[in-house]
A = this chain, B = another copy of it.
Amino acid sequence: MFLKNTWYVAATPEQIDAQFADGAKPLARTICNERMVFYRGDNGVVAALEDFCPHRGAPLSLGRVTEGKLMCGYHGLHMGCEGKAVSMPGQNVQNFRSIRAFPAVERYGFIWVWLGEAALATPDSIPHLDWYNNPEWAFGGGHFNINCDFRLMIDNLMDLTHETYVHSNSIGQKEIDEVPCQTELKGNEVVTSRFMHNIEPPPFWKLALRGNHLADDVLVDRWQICRFTPPSNVHIEVGVAHVGHGGYDAPAAHKVYSVVVDFITPETDTSMHYFWGMARKFNPSDAALTDTIRAGQNKIFSEDLQMLEMQQKNLSTHPTRRLMTLNIDAGGSHSRKVIERLLAEETAQQNKVTA
């Protein structure tokens, strides 16, 4: 069961446009167990439909997009963005069955989709991303498809002690383990923070310091502030500052400040889409630096894949086995409780509606 009355990142605009460039094809993607098809409809506005032609069940994603209409590749039915057939050669489509259209919005460099009650799908509830179209920031990211329950990725990102072990050559260092983290619950937001002082920067942060024309051979203060917000977004303020300048609060000239951007979208019960990236607030005009950081992050997040997928296999083999929740797991644990509470509220609301 997944939260439905919420926005999930379904794709990047580039993914939709790359498909279109390849023969006017739409994009097939499964979100929360729903097989969907995404494309740009009238006036280039993104549309999301069930990937199921109402005529004979052919996948619409094998069709083509012509003038903002999605044409089924089997018998030529033209489907409108609202899920109603608009035409089909030799047919009167007026009484054709409709398929489901999902509210979809392109905003802040992502395509967002809503699986719940359409009337509640207000784009205003899409979280604002400060760095989008902002000259003070630069952003680069990517997309992985991972075979694990989406909550295992939330656990992963809300407890960064794993960096010491999984990412020992890039962002891991023993001080992460040594410095306790603090976890706070603020409404539906969960915040886990760790501040390390007078430490040597690990390789990734040396690279970032050089990228901001700062010395990489001096001690630094380092911070990690992980913020979970529903349904399954984790944004992490990260960075290092030369010691003696105020750490997290140091002036921009003495630090490298970034946000690790993680949108985690369930695909099925045991698989997920992972949209990752880094928004940085230093040397934003250096496109080569953006590429270098993206490549580094790609490598780092690849290191998590095998662990998460094997962890999923273990948990599927032992479905009733209880795990341990340590202090380092407080972030993930609170995030799961927020999801559970919201799910219960959604279910209660739905029962009221259908009663």
Known contacts A74-B311, A307-B62; is-contact A324 B159 (Cβ 8 Å): no
The answer for the CA separation of A322 and B96 in the assembled complex, in Å, is 12
Once the chains bind, are A90 and B310 in contact (CB under 8 Å)?
no
| A interface size (C-beta, 8 A) | 49
A193 to chain B minimum Cβ distance, whole angstroms, is 15
In the complex the two chains form, is B324's CB within 8 Å of A74's CB? no
- Is A323 close to B, CB under 8 A? yes
Report the nearest B residue to A315, measured CB to CB.
B57
Q: Which residues in window 296-355 of A have CB below 8 A to B? A: 306-307, 310-311, 313-315, 317-318, 321-324, 326-329
Q: A56 in the interface, Cβ–Cβ < 8 Å?
A: yes
Q: Give Cα distance in the complex from A53 to B307, angstroms.
A: 12
B-facing residues in A99-113 (Cβ within 8 Å):
none
Docked Cα-Cα span, A55 to B156, in Å, equals 13
Known: A57-B321, A178-B90. A75 touches B328 (CB 8 A): yes
| Contacting pair A56 B155 (CB below 8 A) | yes
Q: Mark A142-185, 1 if CB is under 8 A from B, else 0.
A: 00000000000001000101101110000000100110100000
A89 within 8 A of B: yes
**Which residues on the B side are within 8 Å of A329 (C-beta)?**
56
Q: A58-B307, A96-B324, A178-B89 are in contact. Are A76 and B314 (CB under 8 A)?
A: no
> Which of A58, A62, A306 has the largest count of B CB atoms less than 10 A from its CB?
A58
Contact B315 A164 (CB under 8 A): no
Q: Does A35 contact B (CB under 8 A)?
A: yes
Task: Answer whether residue A211 sits at the interface, using C-beta atoms and an 8 A cutoff.
Answer: no
Closest 3 CB pairs of A and B: A89-B177, A59-B310, A57-B314
